[in-house]
Structure formats: structure tokens, C-alpha cells
């Protein structure tokens, strides 16, 4: 698994959450948290960095990431996994994965 896509990093290990990722989190954060945790793009980026949110380039990389971090997905369908609020579709094939 390459470090440039997982954990929201790009070459050099710098965290990078682009505008699409930020927008998705702002729109969907209340599906996962009981109250708003970030209101601005900078707050979202700080929150995602602080919580080690991952950005996967596609569905297969999401599955690989979940296996790598030890999430038990046995008995869950792929649809059930991708319906988890911790996995947010960015809309361009990528997924934002929050602490599962």
C-alpha cells in the first residue's frame, strides 16, 4: 500500500486534505459526531490531521486499509461497509476514512 494515498498523505508525508474532502466532511460530520467538530476549512484540516483520517483512492484501497488497521469486516457485505458513517465517499472515486 502506498503512503501517497493512505492517511491523506502525498510524497514527503505531508498531510493534504483538498477542498472536496473538506466539503464532504463539513456536510456529513453530524452523521458521525453528536455536534459540529469543525466549521471552517482550516478547522476541518486540523481535525482530520489530529485524528489521522485516511484518504483512499478507491474502494479496494478502503478495504485494504480496513484490513491493515485490523477492522473486523467479516460477515459484512461491501454495501454495509461502505454505508458506515466513518467511510465518506468524496465523489471522485476517493473515500475519506475516519477513525473506525
Predicted local distance difference test score (pLDDT) of residue 75: 95
Confidence of residue 85 (pLDDT cuts 50, 70, 90): very high
Residues 6+ apart with CB under 8 A from 25: 17, 38, 44, 47, 48, 88, 96
- What pTM was estimated for this model as a whole? 0.83
SS3 content of the chain, % helix, strand, coil (to 5): 40, 15, 45
Predicted local distance difference test score (pLDDT) of residue 34: 95
d(CA 84, CA 66): 12
What's the CA dihedral at 20, 23, 25, 28 to 10 degrees?
-120
Predicted local distance difference test score (pLDDT) of residue 5: 44
Predicted local distance difference test score (pLDDT) of residue 8: 52
SS3 string, 52-82, reads CCEEECCHHHHHHHHHHCCCCCCCCCHHHHH
Place of cell 477542498: 19
On average, the pLDDT of the chain sits at 87
* Percent of the chain topping pLDDT 70: 84
Predicted local distance difference test score (pLDDT) of residue 16: 75
pLDDT digits (tens, 9 = 90+) for 24-52: 999 999 999 999 999 999 999 999 999 99
Amino acid at each position: 500500500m502506498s503512503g501517497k494515498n493512505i492517511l491523506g498523505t502525498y510524497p514527503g508525508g505531508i498531510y493534504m486534505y483538498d477542498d472536496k474532502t473538506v466539503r464532504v466532511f463539513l456536510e456529513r460530520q453530524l452523521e458521525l459526531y453528536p455536534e459540529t467538530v469543525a466549521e471552517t476549512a482550516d478547522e476541518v484540516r486540523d481535525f482530520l490531521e489530529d485524528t489521522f483520517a485516511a484518504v483512499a483512492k478507491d474502494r479496494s484501497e478502503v478495504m485494504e486499509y480496513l484490513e491493515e488497521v485490523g477492522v473486523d469486516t467479516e460477515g459484512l457485505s461491501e454495501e454495509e461497509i461502505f454505508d458506515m458513517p466513518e467511510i465518506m465517499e468524496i465523489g471522485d472515486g476517493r473515500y475519506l476514512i475516519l477513525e473506525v
